[in-house]
Amino acid sequence: MYVGTSPVNFQEIDRSIEGILKDIPPKFLQHLKRNFEQNISSFIGGSFKLELRLVVDSSSVISNLISFAKKGGSILHKLIKEPFLRLYAPSTLKKEVEGNIAEISKKKKLDKDILMRTWRLDILPKITVLDPSDLAMFKGHLVVGIRDVTDVPFVALHFQLGTHGVVTKDKDIIEQPVVRTWQIRRVGGLITVFKKGAFSFFIYSRVLPNVLHAVFKIGVAVLRTVFEILAKFIQFFVNLASGAVRAISKLPDWAQLLVGIAAIILILEERTRNLAVEFLKKVGEAISKFASEVYSVIKNLLEGLAPLVQITLTVLAYLFNSYQETIQQLRAL
C-alpha cells in the first residue's frame, strides 16, 4: 500500500502556477477576476472587488520610464496592463511627466522618443485622469501643501476617490502619516497574490470538482468491471451445477434411479472418490487463484490512485490557502 508524503509540495505548485500565469492572456485574467468577484460570496458570505485602486504620481512614472528606456522594461510598464490594478492621476501628471522628459533624456543620455512614446502609448492610456474637487484640494493643501504644492492634486485625488493609497517615491508624501503610500514593487507583489488567488479560486470552484468526479467515476467503473468478471466466474459454476440438476430431473424415474445408484457406487469406490476429491480441489484452487488475482488488481488500483489522491489533496490545500490569502489581503486594504 502507498505510504508517504505527497509527490509535490506547495513550492512546486506555486512555481507551476506562476509559469501558467505568465502565459495567460489578459482577457482570460479578466474572466478569472469576474469569476472571483461574482462567486466568492457563496464561499465566504461576503463580496469583494478584486483590484487595487491607487493614485500614481509623477515620481513613480518618471522612474519607471527611465528603467524602461535603460532595460527595455519596468515594473509599472508590466503591471499597468493587469486587470487587477486601477490607476488614477490628476491632469497635472501629464504636464509634469512631459515637462521632464527632455531634461531626463539629456541628463541620463536616453532616447527622448522612446521615453515619450512609452509614456503616451503605453502608460498614459491606462491611467484614469481626474481632477480633484475644490474641497479635496483644500484637504490636500492641509496635508502636504506646506511641503510641496505640486503634490497636492495627487493627495487630494486619493482623498476624493478613497483609493488604497498613492504610488510614490516622493518623501514629501511618504512622510505624511494620513496618506498610505506604496512602492511599485509592493504593488507588484500584491497583484501577484491577486492573480494567484483568482486562478486558484477558479480551479478550486470550477475545475477541481469536475476532475475529482471524473476520477471517482473511473475508479468505480474499473471496480465494477472487476466485480462483474468475478460474478460471471462464480455464476458459471452455479449454472453448471444447476444445469446438471435440471438435466437429471428431466430424466424418467427409472433413469434417475440408475443415476442415483451410479453416484452411490462412485462415492463408495475409493479410486473414483479420490478423483472427485482431486477435481474439487483443483476447482477450489482455481477459484482461490482467481480471487487472489482480483484482490491483487484491486490492491494495485488503490495503490496507484493513492499518489493521485495525495497530489489532489495537496493541490486542494494550496488552492484554498491561495485564495484565502487573497481575501485576507483585500480585507487589509
Q: With contact defined as beta carbons under 8 Å apart, do 151 and 172 qualify?
A: yes
In a domain, 42, yes or no: no
> Could you give the 3-state DSSP secondary structure of residue 87?
strand
Select from 140, 160, 200 the least CA-distant residue to 18.
200
Is the domain of 205 the same as that of 124? Answer: no
Query: Which of 196, 211, 231 corresponds to the end of one domain?
Result: 196
Cα 105 to Cα 111, 142, 158, 215: the distances in Å are 6, 35, 30, 60
In a domain, 32, yes or no: no
83 burial via Cβ count (<10 Å: 0-12, 13-18, 19+): buried
Does 58 score more than 80 pLDDT? yes
Query: Which of 150, 177, 196 corresponds to the end of one domain?
Result: 196
Number of domains comprising the chain: 2
Q: With contact defined as beta carbons under 8 Å apart, do 64 and 184 qualify?
A: yes
In a domain, 8, yes or no: no
Over residues 249-269, the pLDDT tens digits come to: 665 665 556 655 555 555 556
Between helix 10-23 and helix 184-202 the angle, nearest 10°, is 100
In a domain, 5, yes or no: no
In a domain, 119, yes or no: yes
Over residues 80-117, the pLDDT tens digits come to: 989 999 999 999 999 999 989 888 888 888 888 889 99
Is the domain of 210 the same as that of 238? Answer: yes
In a domain, 85, yes or no: yes
CA–CA dist 5, 3 (Å, integer):
7
Is the domain of 272 the same as that of 192? Answer: no
In a domain, 146, yes or no: yes
> Is this prediction's pTM over 0.85?
no
Q: How many Å is the maximal CA-CA distance in the chain?
A: 126
In a domain, 124, yes or no: yes
Strand-pairing partners, residue 167, are: 56, 182
Over residues 209-252, the pLDDT tens digits come to: 666 555 556 565 666 766 666 667 666 666 655 655 565 566 56
Domain with 249, as residue range(s), is 198-332
Is the domain of 246 the same as that of 153? Answer: no
Query: Which of 137, 167, 196 corresponds to the end of one domain?
Result: 196
Is the domain of 187 the same as that of 59? Answer: yes
Is the domain of 171 the same as that of 233? Answer: no
Over residues 36-48, the pLDDT tens digits come to: 888 887 777 667 7
CA–CA dist 167, 165 (Å, integer):
7
Is the domain of 247 the same as that of 292? Answer: yes
Contacts of 258 (CB under 8 A, 6+ apart): none
